[in-house]
Structures are given as C-alpha cells and as structure tokens.
Amino acid sequence: MKKNPQRFLPNRRSFLKGFSLVLGSTAFGFPFFSFGSCQSGGTSGAEQESQPAAENQGNTKKLGIALVGLGGYAEHQLAPALKETQHCYLAGIVTGTPSKIDRWKSEYNIPDKNVYSYENFDQIANNPDIDAVYIVLPNGLHAEYTIRAAKARKHVICEKPMATSVADAQRMLDACRENNVQLTIGYRLHFEPHNKRVMELGQKQVFGKVQSIEARNGFNITGSNPNVWRLDKKLAGGGPLMDMGVYCVQGACYTLGQTPVAVTAKFGEVTHKTHFAEVEQSIDWQMEFADGVIADCSSSYAEGQGLLAGKAANGWWRLSPAYSYSGLQGETSKGKMNYPQVYEQALQMDAQALSFKNKQKLPISGEMGLRDVKILMAIYESARNNGKRVTIS
C-alpha cells in the first residue's frame, strides 16, 4: 500500500482572492508569455507600467490539470484560480480523504473517472482528460509523485521547494526527461507585478549597480498543534528555510538574475522546544554573488516577516509585504509602486499550460528548482558547521 500523504496536509494560511487577471509580457530578465487581460485598477507615477495587447497563442484547447493533494493551498488558491484560467482547467483530483470527493466533484464538475486515490494514482496514465498534474503535497513526497506522474506521461507542476535533497531533485528531472514531459515549479511571484518590477530594477540596473539585497520571510507557527507536517523533518525536509526561506532565495536571485556563488548561515535560538525538536525555529544567512553583492536573509517559524528590499548606487526599493497572496505593497526612492493586485496562481498556471501545449520550456523550470534546492542544502550545511562559507556548485 502506498502511504497516504493527504493526512499530513493542514490548511495553509490562505486568503481567497477575487482579483481580475493581468499579466504584462515584460519578463524583466525572463521571457514570460502574454495574455489578453481584464485589468483591475491601473498604474501611475514613477512606477507606471503599460500592459500589452493580447497575442495569438494558436492552440486553443484547454489543458486538463489534476490537483494531487487537496489541502488548504489547493482548496483556497489553486482550485479557485483554475476557474479563472484561459488555457487550463481543473480536470481531476487525487486525494486520500474520501469525505472530500463529493464536494469537489460538485464544485468543479469532476466526473467519477477523474477522481483518484494515492493507491491508484498511476492509472492516471490511461486518462486522456488529464494532461498535467500539480503536486501539492508535503515536501518530502514531491519526488515520489513527480516521478510517478512522469512515468504516467503527464506534465508536472510541483510546489516549492522542488525536493528535500539534491539527489531527489535530480531524480525528478531525469524522470521527466526520460518520459518526454515538462517539469516546472509553482513560483507564482514571477507573475506578480511588484516582484516583476523588482526584477527589472535589479537586472536592468535602473538605479545603477545593485549594492545589497535584504530578504526576510516567516510566520508564527508556535500557536498551532506541534504535530503538523511542517515540523516533521522527514516530510518537510527542514523548518522555515524550506517553506518560507525559499521565497528569499528566489527573491535575491531574481533581483539580480544571478545564482549565488557561496553562502554562510547560522541557526537561531530555539525558544519553543515542543515545536522545534526536529527542525529549526529560525535561520539567518547571507548569499554572496559573483559581482560582490551580498543578500542578507532570514526566515522564521516564530515571527511574522515579509520583506524584499534592495539598494543600488542611485536609489532603493522595498516590498513589504513582499510574498503574500494579496495586499503586496512597494515603494522606491522615486515613489510608491502602484500596481494592481493580481491572481498570480491563475497567471502562473496559464503560462505553464501554454508551455506544455506549445512545447516551449519556461525559465521557471525543474532546473531552476534544482538550483534552489542546491542553495537550500548549502545554507543548511553552513549552519551545521558554525557559519562555514559553503560554495554553490
């Protein structure tokens, strides 16, 4: 019998969003797709950004996506987003909780033949309604279900972090290549206007050469039951670094459009021993880039954080909150950022569906996921060795 991962899934901190879709084609270092959009609000002032006209995308067939895991993020973010997408739809579900099935079938018009358990998941190979799966399981199960999906010849969107080890991430990539399917990661903020603007500010050196980056992300888990998968090292792979810290790694990398060459790190003090017997409570680290820029980062499961900031030769920028599902705010040395709030999960999945349909590889790829796992593992190695400088290979 296969393990039932669904029982490990608590509700994520989620905020159901009803914003209209908007996506610019400017990639700020990455070649994003562009879509026809219904704008919600506008942009103005120093941070004004125009939206492009729709482009002909050719193949108009919507791709069917099956959500693997029906926890809080799938229920409150991904599934509602799939009601708004133009290039994909919710075709199937995979769950270990039978009591959820009727409600999901009714809400999303899912036929019986497109409902799977973790035991019969591999039979998805015989279902032409399902073109791709979205893995929304605890981190330690990403590799197993990505590889099983690849063997079933289904494209894969995998939630972050891609895996809990470099070896598993490589196995996932190899399985997808061997079965001629694409693997991409659920990095939704590549489609969010405030974060896209930061990519432009840093990569295009709008305010001159970047001098430093600051990235912090966390929330307080100590008021919850300690018996959740996020605090189980086997399932989570680690503590806040593997959950919230990956946003900081991403933020620093996409600010510069570079990969760090080395890291140094240290674990924070454990003040809630009942919760943090297996994983860190907090962690601080620095990422060193080839051009000399240092990104000062931290992540915590005992403190609310949400910052992405940068300083350059002739100006600065700051997003706070920077990584939330809604309510992002930003400013620069030239004034407030005034961008619409968007449904970035819908934009993310539409772009990924287009890449599957058109056989065009997104830069938000399995290779990017592997890169980030290498960085995360290097951070842990440094912290375990009293802040030793660890190079990124």
pLDDT tens, 212-260?
999 999 999 999 899 999 999 999 999 999 999 999 999 999 999 999 9
C-alpha to C-alpha distance for 203 and 287, rounded to whole angstroms? 17
At 116, the amino acid letter reads Y
Q: For position 56, what pLDDT does the model report?
A: 36
Q: For position 53, what pLDDT does the model report?
A: 29
Q: Residue 262: is its pLDDT beyond 70?
A: yes
Q: For position 363, what pLDDT does the model report?
A: 84
Are residues 265 and 198 part of one domain? yes
Q: Quick check: 133 and 68 in contact, CB under 8 A?
A: yes
Catalytic residue among 247, 254, 301, 325: 247
Are residues 126 and 198 part of one domain? no
pLDDT grade for 59, boundaries at 50, 70 and 90:
low
Are residues 149 and 123 part of one domain? yes
C-alpha to C-alpha distance for 367 and 134, rounded to whole angstroms? 17
pLDDT tens for residues 102-152? 999 999 999 999 999 999 999 999 999 999 999 999 999 999 999 999 999
In a domain, residue 356? The reply is no
pLDDT tens for residues 203-221? 999 999 999 999 999 999 9
CATH classification of the domain holding 156: 3.40.50.720
In a domain, residue 343? The reply is no
- Burial bucket for residue 387 (CB in 10 Å: 0-12, 13-18, 19+): middle
CATH classification of the domain holding 249: 3.30.360.10
Q: Quick check: 315 and 208 in contact, CB under 8 A?
A: yes
At 144, the amino acid letter reads E
pLDDT grade for 201, boundaries at 50, 70 and 90:
very high
Angle between helices 142-151 and 166-178 (to 10 degrees): 10
Reported as half-sphere exposure (CB side, CA atoms, 13 A), residue 347 has a value of 29
Q: Quick check: 200 and 206 in contact, CB under 8 A?
A: yes
Mean predicted confidence (pLDDT) in 168-195 = 98
In a domain, residue 346? The reply is no
Please confirm, yes or no, whether 160 is among the known catalytic residues: yes
In a domain, residue 315? The reply is yes
Phi, psi values for residue 108, rounded to 5°? -120, 15
Pairing of strands 390-391, 262-267: antiparallel
Domain final residue, candidates 157, 173, 188: 188
Peptide bond preceding 340 in cis form (omega within 30 of 0): no
Q: For position 361, what pLDDT does the model report?
A: 84
Catalytic residue among 17, 154, 160, 311: 160
Which long-range contacts does 56-60 make (Cβ < 8 Å, 24+ apart)?
57/33, 57/87, 57/354, 57/358, 58/358, 59/357, 59/358
Domain final residue, candidates 169, 188, 207: 188
Q: How many domains is the chain built from?
A: 2
In a domain, residue 344? The reply is no
Q: For position 186, what pLDDT does the model report?
A: 98
Closest among 126, 311, 309, 327 to 208, alpha carbons compared: 311
In a domain, residue 348? The reply is no
Domain final residue, candidates 188, 213, 229: 188
Mean predicted confidence (pLDDT) in 313-329 = 97
Task: Give the max Cα distance, the chain.
Answer: 60
In a domain, residue 357? The reply is no
pLDDT tens for residues 7-38? 443 333 332 233 233 333 333 333 333 222 22
Q: Quick check: 182 and 356 in contact, CB under 8 A?
A: yes
Place of tokens 């799966």: 133
DSSP states of 30-82: S----------S---GGG----PPP---S--PPEEEEEE--SHHIIIIIHHHT
Q: Quick check: 369 and 161 in contact, CB under 8 A?
A: yes
Burial readout 60-87 (b: 16 or more C-beta within 10 A, e: otherwise): eebbbbbbbbbbebbbbbbbbbbebbbb
Q: For position 147, what pLDDT does the model report?
A: 99
pTM above 0.95, yes or no: no
pLDDT grade for 331, boundaries at 50, 70 and 90:
very high
Which residues have CB under 8 Å from 253's CB, separation 6+? Answer: 259, 260, 371, 372
State which residues form the domain around 178: 5-188
In a domain, residue 302? The reply is yes
Question: Which whole-number Å values give the CA distances from 280 to 68, 119, 158, 241, in the listed order?
Answer: 28, 33, 24, 8
Please confirm, yes or no, whether 17 is among the known catalytic residues: no
Q: For position 12, what pLDDT does the model report?
A: 32
Neighbours of 162 (CB within 10 A): 32
Proportion of the chain above pLDDT 70, given as a percent: 85
Are residues 180 and 143 part of one domain? yes
Q: For position 9, what pLDDT does the model report?
A: 39
Peptide bond preceding 321 in cis form (omega within 30 of 0): yes
Are residues 281 and 155 part of one domain? no
Lowest model confidence (mean pLDDT) among 52-56, 107-111, 119-123, 371-375: 52-56
